[in-house]
Structure 1
């Protein structure tokens, strides 16, 4: 079918015009699209539709965040499971029902709240100029690279703040009693002294001699376990901003222009070191108090002018600034806007030279006498010093722009020129690479390798790629990276003959029967110990807690803590699967650290946070049940159903 579309484009375009244009007259463009293809949507909440594009973007953003957080530990297949995909869709539905409720209650965020969030954003903080203002032009440029205007970004922040109000009010009301917090904390800190007696499967392996018939029967029952996976030999292209950055080489003129245009980024503003004497005279003081303070300040100014070398001693004795008086009035080094005295203080201080003293300076706090003790002039880093960092920044910017400009064209050409990747390689100057892949990620490759991307592997092993030998679509890997491939050779999965895997089958049977023997002996020994209370053969005593299991398996720790603490010693058995069987002897139960008010308070807070999250989830579930939610089938585009 795809080949027919590709080879008869003009005919298909004419047919589509005949079908679509009349249809638009009856339904309208959007209505016709929904009528014609529900696969464009994944769900609807009341009158709002969640499109597949919106869902795909949310899934990609989640994986990008995980990739940034985990780095080399990131495993794409762990984040691209049916459960994870359903969680992403549930999150979008919850956001929509919460948005509807927020709108119904007319909740919004104030301009001041939006401003505070923006100013606390590290991204925006990095755009501050030496005088404390925001470089608006650079702010607009950075947002434009993300496809947004400042107004759109403000609206996004306001929307986010409004959505947080209802969950925040629920979370703030959560409460946990001291009694419950103390009880749970005591349980978590409870210590248990245990000894172990292990029946290792490996100790029984030599006793197992499986017959040929047993091996044959195991092979027949587990044939798929020995199958060799399908393999595809592929050619592939990767278009990424990182690759474009490596190939980008800005000219010297471009680097110099960037330096000149962003000079404030490379300038360290001037600073001074000053001391002051403050005589308090708040704005709301009476005229008499104002006059009295001024006279006192004038007297001290005369004394300072007569004995400038004694400024520190005079400040220590008479200054009414508790923060600096004990240090002789020293305020340390500061730039404009860093001292609370405001513009009047700054103008006076920065007009002085080293070792000069001001006259009386009035601010909202009172009367100051300022003496400058050191001056650090403004310094602009020379071009050669910052050239390397400019090169990195400019390459990243040019690469991001290049990727944005090329992504659509790359996507189109690998689809339109379906029988070869060479046209795309030539147009975008990319290296055509080759590899052999299987449907599952290759553990020998880095987890973030493009060849381990689940969506990419799914596309490679699709019928269109394997049978028709067409290029895959351009797969978005996140982090501004696209990959497309073409299968040049394919070998289907195969189940080898029994003779070829006989030794592997034998090892499987031996391991299975050895584990069963270990379990049988372990269970028999457990029954005997529960009667005799013997201690022979056990390991040295080990003290475990729920918070510190000492490397013990979760199943073993659970069994130990289920043992009756009132009837010690107690014996419990745990099946270790292929590893065998273990018996634990619980000798003693001890309480953990003494409960202090601080520990109880911390436990209260932690438990309250858990309860609050549960209450928020219950509230969102209630909103969802109250809304009309329709799912357009599973995320693999199965038939739709109503919730």
Structure 2
């Protein structure tokens, strides 16, 4: 049998067959092995090498293409950052379900793709960012400064408190990458400029004023003509969305909160003492040490000779500081390269465990008061340490901790009672989700009813955004089952069930008959007012004076001298129309009309246009304006650069990873 199989799988025909069978397996191999999009990426930005701009994208030539990936974890972190920002901005109105939309995810991804495109462009252009530039940028960040100077201790604390925590080296690489991808667009942005002619043109336009006369026409009289049933039906059919009943629901609910929980009993002495013994470590003032240091800085990437010289200098300073009668403060002020502590004689204040990098902390907490030790090597360079004083800490007695323990015990008892009641209620509701009565009866709670209410007009517990979202959710409306507990606040929640739902629907004509008739009459009045104003405009174009036209129409003429652009006079929309009107020509007035919010119409004659006066602007103001125009042009140019960059590169998105 095996021999027959070998015989039939030899020769050129069998080779072709085996090759054809192998091809599908090659096509399903992870694209990451062939320069494609791997399983750990959401998107990839690719470009051919600079030395072969026309290189095809198929494998194996794609191996020479350069690419930057948007990793799954990177996308998730950025999306979570955006979620936190939106929650802070919107407060209780933040809807977590709506935020999870594919549109939001795509928007966040687009920003990351732009960053990767810039990073790839910088890499292709051979742009690098040196250690000195990274260090200078980090030291300029206010969050890492004390009294306006970079402080190494605060830097370490800030990095360790981030989520996720980062080491200094990881943060430096992050800064390096950010600077690298921003150099090209920022260079384009800062290269923009505004000419003197552009500045003058902007000043003439923005400072332009206009002289006009406006005739405010009286309100049109009510149209007394009857409104036929056919007109009513036609208007109603064309404007049904103006006469809608909004969607509404009515709910029943069970509330669990402080009002439904018994007051927690006061904890007995034995319980508090037992808890104190179990948590003695909490009530210990930690050991702390009063320290000073001298830093001889060594830059990342320094050669061995530089490191050796720094170590020798630190050793020499340690010897001088340990000598009898040495003035450590003076040595630190003269030699330390830590700008955050140098001017105060190297004073670091009281230091507890966990605040400093490991080598520094290990040395400091192994020293005796008055001892000088060094050199101590860290990522920053070499340190000379002096321990000035030790505070060993002490156990806080029970009597001093009792009040805090009692408060915590009462809070824990209250939370436990709330959790037990909520859990029991939830379990009972799951057994019979189509009614709240049985579960409420078993737990001694009360079923209450609310509504009907709309999305915009809600009261009571329905005023909480989470309750409204659940009440109008498709699941609760269609199934008629109870919701999960909805949190209203700490130890305060509610379970709801929709008992009645009225979808958005047009109100019948008979119900809105008067409103439809009023709308028709208002429309007639508006059309009549516009027609009357248009007739007056034609008379003004024919050469009649505004005063004569206004007198015949019973209109009030209001002069507007020196009207500035953008002023809400007579209204924002009217101002825009006045400044869109063509300047008057010799013997040909510039006239027009506009409507007011109260339903009146106005006609106007534009008498004169006065351009702004660039010469009246001070030199400082002119330079400030020039800078602002350059910034606007630069920002537009940078955006255009990124857009064109995206067109030149190949962007592949793994939609399933979103």
Q: Taking structure 1 as the reference length, what is the TM-score of the superposition?
A: 0.54
What secondary structure sits across from 1:180 in the alignment?
A: helix
> Do the aligned partners of 2:581 and 2:590 also contact (CA within 8 Å) in 1?
no
Instruction: Give, in whole Å, the separation in 2 of the partners of 1:344 and 1:442.
Output: 62
Distance 2:210 2:648 in 1: 48
Q: Is the 8 A contact 2:254 2:496 kept in 1?
A: no
Residue in 1 that maps onto 2:267: none
CA contact (8 A) 2:216 2:601 kept: yes
Match of 2:519 in 1: 508
In the alignment, structure 1 residue 97 sits paired with structure 2 residue 151? no
Counterparts of residues 623-638 of structure 1 (less than 5 Å)? 623-630=645-652
- Say whether residues 1:589 and 2:603 are aligned partners: no
Q: Does 1:499 align with 2:517?
A: no
CA distance in structure 2 between the partners assigned to 1:499 and 1:230 by the alignment = 20
Alignment CA distance shift 1:582-1:85 (3 Å): farther
Retained in 1: the 8 A contact 2:481–2:498?
Answer: no
Q: Choose which of 181, 196, 199 in structure 2 pairs with 1:178.
A: 196
Give the gaps of 5 or more residues in structure 2: 1-24, 47-66, 256-271, 293-331, 348-395, 397-403, 437-445, 551-555
Structure 1 residue 135: Cα displacement: 4.0
Q: Give the deviation of 1:66 after TM superposition.
A: 6.2
1:151-193 Cα deviation digits (max 9, x unpaired): 5444433332222111111011112211121112111101112
> What is aligned with 1:466?
477
Whole-angstrom CA distance in 2 between matches of 1:30 and 1:488: 50
CA distance in 2, matches of 1:630, 1:156: 24
Three-state SS of the structure 1 residue aligned to 2:162 is helix
1:488 aligns with 2:506: no
CA positional deviation for 1:499: 1.5
How far did 1:114 drift?
Answer: 3.3
Distance 1:171 1:571 in 2: 43
8 Å Cα contact 1:178-1:600 kept in structure 2: no
* 2:624 corresponds to 1:602: yes
Q: Once structures 1 and 2 are overlaid, which stretch shifts more, 462-471 or 583-592? A: 462-471
Aligned counterpart, 1:167:
185
Distance (whole Å) between structure 1 residues aligned to residue 198 and residue 574 of structure 2: 26
How far did residue 522 of structure 1 move?
A: 1.1
Query: For the Cα contact (< 8 Å) 1:469–1:488, is it kept in 2?
Result: yes
Query: Are the aligned partners of 1:574 and 1:583 in contact in 2 as well (CA < 8 Å)?
Result: yes
Pick the aligned partner of 1:524 from 522, 531, 535: 535
The separation in 2 between residues aligned to 1:129 and 1:460, in whole angstroms, is 52
2:246 counterpart SS class: coil
Point out the structure with max Rg over C-alpha.
Answer: 2
**Alignment-derived partner of residue 142 in structure 1:** 161
CA distance in 1, matches of 2:201, 2:176: 42
Question: Structure 1 residues 130 and 552 mapped into 2: Cα distance closer, same or farther (>3 Å)?
Answer: closer
Q: C-alpha deviations, 1:508-560, integer Å up to 9, x for none?
A: 22222222111111111111122213234322325322254546324642443
1:534 lines up with 2:546 in the alignment: yes
> TM-score when scaled to structure 2?
0.53
How far is 1:101 from its partner?
A: 1.9
Does residue 1:451 correspond to 2:465, yes or no? yes
**CA distance 1:452–1:177, change in 2 (3 Å):** farther
Measured after TM superposition, the shift of residue 575 of structure 1 is: 4.9
Alignment length (residue pairs) = 461
User: Using a 3 Å threshold, how does the CA distance of structure 1 residues 492 and 561 change in structure 2: closer, same or farther?
Assistant: closer
In 1, the alpha carbon distance for the partners of 2:227 and 2:96 equals 41
Give 1:217's match in structure 2, choosing from 209, 234, 255: 234
Written as runs of structure 1 = structure 2, the 5 A alignment for 1:128-139 is 132-135=151-154, 138-139=157-158
Deviations 1:108-137 (A, max 9, x none): 4333333344344344347x8999542466
1 CA distance for matches of 2:82 and 2:589? 50
Task: Say whether the 8 Å CA contact 1:229–1:438 is kept in structure 2.
Answer: no
Assess if the C-alpha contact under 8 Å between 2:248 and 2:455 holds in 1: no
Q: Structure 1 pair 521/470, CA: closer, same or farther in 2 (3 Å)?
A: same
Distance 1:114 1:468, change over 3 A: farther
Match of 1:560 in 2: 579
Q: Which residue of 2 aligns with 1:7?
A: none
Change in CA separation of 1:50 and 1:538 when aligned onto 2, cut-off 3 Å: farther
- Matching of residues 257-406 of structure 1 within 5 Å: none
**Counterpart-to-counterpart distance in 2, 1:262 and 1:198:** 82
Quickly say closer, same or farther: Cα 1:94–1:546, change in 2 above 3 A: farther
1:187 to 194, 205, 208: 205
Alpha-carbon distance in 2 for matches of 1:337, 1:491: 77
User: Mapping of 1:26-175 within 5 angstroms?
Assistant: 45-46=45-46, 61-62=81-82, 65=85, 88-125=108-145, 132-135=151-154, 138-144=157-163, 151-175=169-193
Return closer, same or farther for 1:41/1:215 CA change in 2, 3 Å cut-off.
farther
SS state of the match for residue 510, structure 1? helix
Deviation at residue 440 of structure 1 after TM alignment:
5.6
State the SS of the aligned residue for 1:539. strand
Where do residues 614-625 of structure 1 align in structure 2 (5 Å cutoff)?
614-625=636-647
Alpha carbons 1:560, 1:572 under 8 Å: kept: no
**CA deviation digits over 1:3-46, x for unaligned, max 9?**
xxxxxxxxxxxxxxxxxxxx9xx767999xx99xx9x9986644
| Change beyond 3 A, Cα 1:78–1:48 | same
In 2, Cα distance between the equivalents of 1:235 and 1:579? 46
Q: Is the 8 A contact 2:487 2:494 kept in 1?
A: no
